[in-house]
C-alpha cells in the first residue's frame, strides 16, 4: 500500500458534503493526490479565512445545494493554519473532520527533516523502503537517507573534483532544489575531503547563479590550458584574481556533455579568441571546446541554432511531467526564440520547417499538460512559489523572515522569458556585480493583466476577488491588505504603477523616502506598452525591449532599491506571443472581455454561441475563477483579430504566455 493509498483510505467511506482536513504537511497538494481525489468525485478547496470561504460556499456551491445537485468538498487547512478547533462552529457542524500527518506515513524518519521535502518527493522515499524501516533514524541519519535516496548524493562517493563537478552540473543544469537543511549536511560531509577543501561549496552548491558564474570565470583558464596541451599555444599564463580552484576538470567525459549544453542553451557565454593569451587565429574542428568559443558570429549562430533545435526536440516534457520540467524547459526555449530572431533571413529559411515543427510539438505538449495538470498547481506551495498568487506568501516566509527586512516586488507587465533574457544581458553589462537567481512561475489563466496581476498582488485566487476581476484598480488595497494580515502596518506598505521611463524614477524616489517602508510593489508598464503598439512581431519586440533596457531605467531603479536596503524580486503577470488573426467574432454586447487571445462571457450559453462559429477554440473551466467568468481561448498561435493579421498579444495558453520569469536580484561585493 502506497503513501497515497493510506491517505485515500480516509475518504473511502462516509461521504459528507463537506469534509474538513487538517493538513499541516500539505500532503493533499501533491498533483497525483489531487487527481486521485478528483477521480473519486471530491473537489479540493484550500481554506483561507472564514469570510472568503463563506463567500465561495454561498456563491458557488449553495446554488448546487438548492438545485439538489450533490457535491463533495474537501476543505483543506494547510501548513500553520491546520487547526480544526479554530474554525467557526457553524461551518464544521454536521461535517466530517480528518487530520493528516507526515509521521503517520514515515514513522521511522526524523519529522523535522522530512517535513522539508515536497510531497512529490515521497515516492522516492517509499521506493527506498522508508515506510518499512526496522528501526528509527536520528536527525543526521535521516538527512543522509534523504540525500542518498531522494537527491542521489552520497558524500563518500564524491572522491575527487571531477566527481563533485559532475554532481553539481547535474543538479544545476536540471535546476533541482534541495532543502537547505540537507544542503548544510552535504556541505559539512563534503568538506571532510581534502581534495575539495578549496571549493566554495557554501556558495556554489545551493546557488545556481553562483555556480554558473564560478564556471564562467574558470572557462578561460581551462581553454588556455587545453590550447597548450594541443600545441596551439606555447605557454600557460598566470590567472590572477580567480580564487582556487582555478583549473577545473571540464574535459572529464561525463562533465563535457553538460558543459556543451550549458553553452548551447545560454547558461554560459562563449569567449572570444581575442581574450586568449597569444591570440590564436584558428581552432581546429576536432577540439571539443569550440562550443565555448566565439569564432565566426554567423557560422557560430547557425551551428548553435541547429544543435539547439535538435536538443530541445528531445527535451520537450511529456504530458505527465512535473511542473518543474516545464519551468526548466522554458528557459532553454526562450534562448532558442532569441537565437531564431537574431538569425539572418537565409538562416531562418533553411531551418524554418524544423523550427515550426518543434514549435507545434511544444504547443501541443504544453496544452495537453495544462489540461491535465494546471489546476493542481493552485494549491501547490513549495520552497519557491509555483503560481503568481503564491509569491506574496513566499516573500513573507522567506525574504521578510528577518527583523526589519525590506522587500521590493518588481512586476514587469507582459515580460516574456525571451524578453527577460534580453534585459538580463543588458543589465549584466550595466551592472557587472549583479547577482541573478532565476526560475519561473506560472501565471493565471487567462493570462490577462486584470486576472493574473491581481492574483499576484493579492496573494489570492481570482475567485476571491470577483468584483474587480475585469480591472486592476484594487491592486494597491489588495497588496496592502496582504501585508497588514502578515503583521505590517499600512504605512509600511507602498505601491506604484505606470513606471518605465526615466522621469518616473522621481516617483519611486519619493515613495522610498519614507523610512517606514518595508514592502513595496512596483509595476513597470513599458514592455506591455511596447507590445500593444507592436506591428513588427517578435523581432520588433526584442529590438524595442533592448533599446528600452539600454536607457538605464532598470539599472537606476535597482540601484535605488539596493541603496535603500531592499531585497529585490522581479516577475511578470504574463508573457506574450506573436499570433495570426483567425477572425473577429460578431458578439454585439455579449462578451465581458474582448481580448486578442481570449474572450470572456458571463455564462456557458453565450460562450457556446461563439464556440459554434470557431470550433477550434478552447473552452476553459471556471476552477479558481468566478462562476460567471467563462473563458474561450483562441487555439495555438491564433488571435481574435482580422484574418492573417499578425500581432503580439497575450491572454492565451502558450508556454511563453503562461510561464514567466521569477528572479531574485542582489549585488555581489565589488
Report pLDDT for 660: 99
Which among 141, 151, 104 is positioned nearest to 1, based on CA atoms?
104
Between 633 and 55, residue with greater pLDDT:
633
Residue 117, all three cell numbers: 521535502
Q: Give me the residues paired with residue 97 across strands.
A: 20
Question: What secondary structure letter does DSSP report for 108?
Answer: T
CATH topology of domain 378-576+656-667: Alkaline Phosphatase, subunit A (3.40.720)
The pTM of the full predicted model, rounded to 2 decimals, is 0.90
The answer to whether 19 touches 95, Cβ cutoff 8 Å, is yes
- How far is residue 200's CA from residue 196's CA, in Å, rounded to a whole number? 9
- How far is residue 103's CA from residue 84's CA, in Å, rounded to a whole number? 19
Report pLDDT for 510: 97
User: What are the start-end ranges of the H helices in 74-207?
Assistant: 89-92, 102-105, 111-114, 122-127, 139-149, 161-173, 180-190, 201-204
Q: pLDDT-based confidence at 8, cuts 50/70/90?
A: very high
Report pLDDT for 66: 66
- How far is residue 446's CA from residue 601's CA, in Å, rounded to a whole number? 13
User: What are the start-end ranges of the H helices in 150-296?
Assistant: 161-173, 180-190, 201-204, 208-229, 253-264
450: enclosing H helix or E strand: helix 449-458
- DSSP strand pairing (577-581 vs 73-78): unpaired
The pLDDT mean for the chain works out to 90
Report pLDDT for 529: 93
Residue 422, all three cell numbers: 534580453
Q: pLDDT-based confidence at 238, cuts 50/70/90?
A: low
- How far is residue 532's CA from residue 534's CA, in Å, rounded to a whole number? 6
Place of cell 515516492: 123
Report pLDDT for 65: 67
- How far is residue 91's CA from residue 56's CA, in Å, rounded to a whole number? 13
* Mean predicted confidence (pLDDT) in 398-424: 94
Report pLDDT for 268: 93
pLDDT in tens, 308-336: 999 999 999 998 899 999 999 999 999 99
- How far is residue 544's CA from residue 548's CA, in Å, rounded to a whole number? 6
pLDDT in tens, 246-281: 889 999 999 998 999 999 999 999 988 776 766 665
Check pLDDT > 60 for residue 651. Answer: yes
* Residue 317 to residues 201, 327, 655, Cα–Cα distance (Å): 31, 10, 12
Between 496 and 293, residue with greater pLDDT:
496
Report pLDDT for 530: 94
How far is Cα of residue 356 from the mean position of the Cα atoms in its chain? 25
The answer to whether 567 touches 663, Cβ cutoff 8 Å, is no
* Mean predicted confidence (pLDDT) in 475-488: 96
pLDDT in tens, 37-72: 888 888 888 887 778 888 878 877 777 766 666 668
The answer to whether 104 touches 6, Cβ cutoff 8 Å, is yes
* Mean predicted confidence (pLDDT) in 548-553: 98
Which among 380, 445, 663 is positioned nearest to 575, based on CA atoms?
445
Other Cβ atoms less than 10 A from the Cβ of 404: the count is: 7
Range with top average pLDDT, 126-130, 363-367, 607-611: 363-367
- The region that residue 504 occupies, defined by phi over 0 for left and psi between -120 and 50 for alpha, beta otherwise, is alpha
Check pLDDT > 70 for residue 282. Answer: no
Place of cell 576536432: 286
Report pLDDT for 381: 67
The answer to whether 575 touches 630, Cβ cutoff 8 Å, is no
φ, ψ of residue 435 to 5 degrees: the values are: -90, 130
Between 108 and 404, residue with greater pLDDT:
108
How far is Cα of residue 85 from the mean position of the Cα atoms in its chain? 35
- How far is residue 89's CA from residue 540's CA, in Å, rounded to a whole number? 59
- How far is residue 99's CA from residue 285's CA, in Å, rounded to a whole number? 64
- How far is residue 114's CA from residue 132's CA, in Å, rounded to a whole number? 15
518 SS3 class: coil
Report pLDDT for 43: 85
Between 398 and 151, residue with greater pLDDT:
151
Check pLDDT > 90 for residue 234. Answer: no
Q: Delimit the domains of the chain by residue range.
A: 3-100, 155-295, 303-373, 378-576+656-667, 579-649
pLDDT in tens, 296-309: 888 888 889 999 99
Report pLDDT for 15: 62
- How far is residue 193's CA from residue 161's CA, in Å, rounded to a whole number? 10
Report pLDDT for 117: 93
> Buried b vs exposed e over 277-300: b needs ≥16 C-beta within 10 Å?
beeeeebeeeeebbbbbeeeeeee
Q: pLDDT-based confidence at 593, cuts 50/70/90?
A: low
Report pLDDT for 274: 74
Amino acid at each position: 500500500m502506497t503513501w497515497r493509498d493510506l491517505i485515500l483510505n480516509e475518504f473511502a467511506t462516509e461521504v459528507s458534503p463537506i469534509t474538513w482536513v487538517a493538513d499541516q504537511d500539505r500532503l493533499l497538494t501533491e498533483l497525483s493526490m489531487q487527481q486521485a481525489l478528483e477521480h473519486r468525485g471530491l473537489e479540493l478547496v484550500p481554506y483561507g479565512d472564514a469570510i472568503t470561504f463563506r463567500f465561495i460556499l454561498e456563491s458557488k456551491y449553495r446554488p448546487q445545494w438548492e438545485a439538489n445537485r450533490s457535491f463533495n468538498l474537501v476543505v483543506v487547512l494547510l501548513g500553520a493554519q491546520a487547526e480544526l478547533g479554530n474554525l467557526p462552529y457553524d461551518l464544521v457542524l454536521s461535517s466530517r473532520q480528518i487530520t493528516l500527518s507526515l509521521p503517520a506515513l514515515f514513522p521511522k524518519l526524523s519529522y523535522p527533516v522530512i517535513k522539508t521535502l515536497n510531497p512529490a518527493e515521497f515516492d522516492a522515499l517509499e521506493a527506498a523502503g522508508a515506510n518499512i524501516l526496522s528501526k528509527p533514524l536520528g536527525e543526521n541519519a535521516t538527512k543522509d537517507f534523504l540525500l542518498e535516496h531522494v537527491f542521489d548524493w552520497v558524500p563518500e562517493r564524491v572522491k575527487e573534483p571531477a566527481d563533485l563537478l559532475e554532481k553539481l552540473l547535474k543538479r544545476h543544469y536540471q535546476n533541482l532544489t534541495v532543502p537547505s537543511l540537507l544542503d548544510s549536511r552535504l556541505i559539512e560531509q563534503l568538506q571532510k575531503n581534502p581534495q575539495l577543501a578549496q571549493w566554495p561549496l557554501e556558495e556554489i552548491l545551493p546557488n545556481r547563479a553562483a555556480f554558473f558564474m564560478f564556471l564562467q570565470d574558470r572557462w578561460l583558464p581551462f581553454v588556455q590550458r587545453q590550447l597548450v596541451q594541443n600545441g596551439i599555444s606555447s605557454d600557460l599564463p598566470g590567472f590572477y584574481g580567480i580564487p582556487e580552484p582555478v583549473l577545473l576538470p571540464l574535459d572529464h567525459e561525463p562533465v563535457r556533455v553538460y558543459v556543451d549544453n550549458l553553452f548551447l542553451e545560454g547558461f554560459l557565454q562563449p569567449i572570444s579568441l581575442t581574450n586568449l593569451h597569444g591570440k590564436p587565429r584558428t581552432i581546429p574542428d576536432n577540439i571539443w571546446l569550440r562550443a565555448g568559443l566565439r569564432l565566426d558570429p554567423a557560422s557560430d549562430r547557425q551551428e548553435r541554432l541547429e544543435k539547439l533545435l535538435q536538443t530541445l526536440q528531445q527535451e520537450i516534457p511529456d504530458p505527465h511531467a512535473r511542473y518543474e520540467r516545464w519551468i526548466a524547459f522554458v528557459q532553454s526555449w526562450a534562448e532558442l526564440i532569441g537565437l531564431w530572431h537574431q538569425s539572418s533571413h537565409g538562416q531562418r529559411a533553411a531551418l524554418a520547417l524544423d523550427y515550426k515543427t518543434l514549435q507545434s510539438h511544444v504547443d501541443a505538449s504544453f496544452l495537453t499538460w495544462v489540461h491535465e495538470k494546471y489546476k493542481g498547481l493552485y494549491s501547490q506551495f513549495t520552497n519557491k512559489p509555483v503560481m503568481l498568487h503564491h509569491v506574496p506568501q513566499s516573500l513573507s516566509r522567506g525574504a521578510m523572515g528577518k527583523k526589519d527586512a525590506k522587500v521590493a516586488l518588481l512586476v514587469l507587465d507582459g515580460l516574456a522569458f525571451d524578453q527577460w533574457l534580453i534585459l538580463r544581458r543588458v543589465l549584466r553589462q550595466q551592472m557587472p556585480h549583479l547577482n541573478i537567481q532565476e526560475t519561473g512561475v506560472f501565471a493565471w489563466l487567462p493570462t490577462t493583466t486584470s486576472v493574473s496581476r491581481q492574483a499576484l498582488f493579492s496573494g489570492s485566487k481570482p475567485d476571491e476577488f470577483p468584483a474587480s476581476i475585469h480591472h486592476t484598480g484594487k491592486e494597491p488595497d489588495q497588496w496592502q491588505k496582504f501585508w497588514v494580515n502578515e503583521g505590517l502596518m499600512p504605512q509600511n506598505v507602498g505601491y506604484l504603477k505606470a513606471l518605465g521611463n526615466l522621469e518616473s524614477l522621481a516617483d519611486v524616489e519619493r515613495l522610498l523616502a519614507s523610512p517606514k517602508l518595508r514592502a513595496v510593489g512596483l509595476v513597470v508598464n513599458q514592455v506591455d506598452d511596447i507590445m500593444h503598439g507592436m506591428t513588427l512581431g517578435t523581432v520588433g519586440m526584442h529590438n524595442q525591449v533592448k533599446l528600452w533596457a539600454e536607457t538605464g531605467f532598470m539599472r537606476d531603479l535597482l540601484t535605488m532599491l539596493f541603496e535603500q536596503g531592499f531585497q529585490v524580486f522581479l516577475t511578470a503577470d504574463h508573457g506574450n506571443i506573436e499570433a495570426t488573426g483567425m477572425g473577429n467574432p460578431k458578439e454585439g454586447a455579449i462578451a465581458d472581455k474582448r481580448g486578442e487571445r481570449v474572450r470572456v462571457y458571463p455564462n456557458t450559453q453565450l460562450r457556446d454561441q461563439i464556440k459554434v462559429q470557431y470550433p477550434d477554440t478552447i473552452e476553459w473551466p471556471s476552477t479558481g475563477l468566478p462562476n460567471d467568468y467563462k473563458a474561450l481561448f483562441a487555439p495555438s498561435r491564433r488571435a481574435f483579430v482580422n484574418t492573417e493579421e499578425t500581432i503580439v498579444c497575450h491572454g492565451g495558453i502558450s508556454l511563453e504566455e503562461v510561464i514567466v520569469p521569477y528572479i531574485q536580484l542582489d549585488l555581489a561585493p565589488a
